[in-house]
């Protein structure tokens, strides 16, 4: 498996965070923030094989968000809490998240789903669904037999 450059950078800061080297992990977070205008906290969980084709430019993730394996996250993405709520989104495996999507609150994003560009997702997304819009709604389901 070929690892994504940004995933490797995050993984290093995540390792530092969990090995009593929080100040160095915070420095790495700061560097990512300055260089990419992206906030990727070290304590976040991101599964193996997840890729950031545009280096997550302008994206912001809450530290307690969970992102599964083999996902693709474009740029300008916000994943965080709704104001006044403590629970955060859980992103499944093999989820494709389009540019400038916003995913908020105590919701889960099902495996193999697709979030359309500019969506505002505030409700659970079923597995294999393609959602879009504000608020995001299912526009179709993936055809699992055609591989699409
Ligand atoms: C969501 C997406 C994957 C759907 O693609 P698709 O399966 O080809 O969907 P279609 O183009 O057939 O659109 C189906 C319907 O959803 C609407 N739709 C598609 N994408 C939408 C979006 N992002 N926001 C709102 N509505 C959208 C279409 O207008 C269409 O509506 P209609 O049936 O009323 O005419 C795609 O439109 C998308 O947003 N991709 C993200 C691309 C991206 O982030 N690019 C960044 C490049 S750097």
Ligand 1 pocket test, candidate residues 134, 139, 141, most atoms within 8 A of CB: 139
Q: Which of 88, 104, 7, 2 lies closest to 50, judged by CA? A: 7
Is residue 148 pLDDT above 60, yes or no? no
Per-residue pLDDT tens over the stretch 8-18? 999 999 999 99
85 is catalytic: yes
- Looking from the CA of 66 toward its CB, the CA atoms found within 13 Å total 12
| pLDDT band at 147; cut points 50, 70, 90 | low
Is residue 53 pLDDT above 70, yes or no? yes
Closest C-alpha to ligand 1, atom 4: 116
Per-residue pLDDT tens over the stretch 94-145? 999 999 999 999 999 999 999 999 999 999 999 999 999 999 999 999 987 7
Ligand 1 midpoint to CA 142 (Å):
13
Please give the number of the atom of ligand 1 that sits closest to the Cα of 99: 44
Name the packing angle between helices 22-36 and 5-18 (round to 10°). Answer: 150
Please give the number of the atom of ligand 1 that sits closest to the Cα of 118: 23
Cβ-contact 115, 101 below 8 angstroms = yes
User: What pLDDT shows up at residue 144?
Assistant: 72
| pLDDT band at 66; cut points 50, 70, 90 | very high
């Amino acid at each position: 498996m070929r690892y994504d450059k940004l995933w490797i950078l995050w993984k290093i800061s995540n390792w530092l965070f969990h090995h009593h080297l929080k100040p160095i992990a915070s420095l790495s977070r700061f560097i990512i923030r300055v260089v990419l205008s992206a906030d990727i906290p070290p304590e976040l969980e991101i599964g193996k094989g997840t890729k950031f084709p545009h280096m997550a430019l302008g994206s912001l993730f809450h530290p307690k968000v969970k992102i599964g394996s083999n996902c693709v996250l474009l740029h300008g993405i916000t994943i965080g809490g709704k104001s006044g709520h403590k629970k955060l989104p859980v992103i499944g495996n093999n989820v494709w998240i389009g540019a400038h999507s916003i995913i908020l609150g105590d919701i889960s994003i099902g495996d193999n789903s697709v979030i359309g560009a500019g969506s505002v997702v505030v409700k659970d997304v079923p597995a294999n669904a393609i959602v879009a819009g504000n608020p995001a709604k299912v526009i179709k389901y993936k055809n699992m037999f055609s591989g699409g």
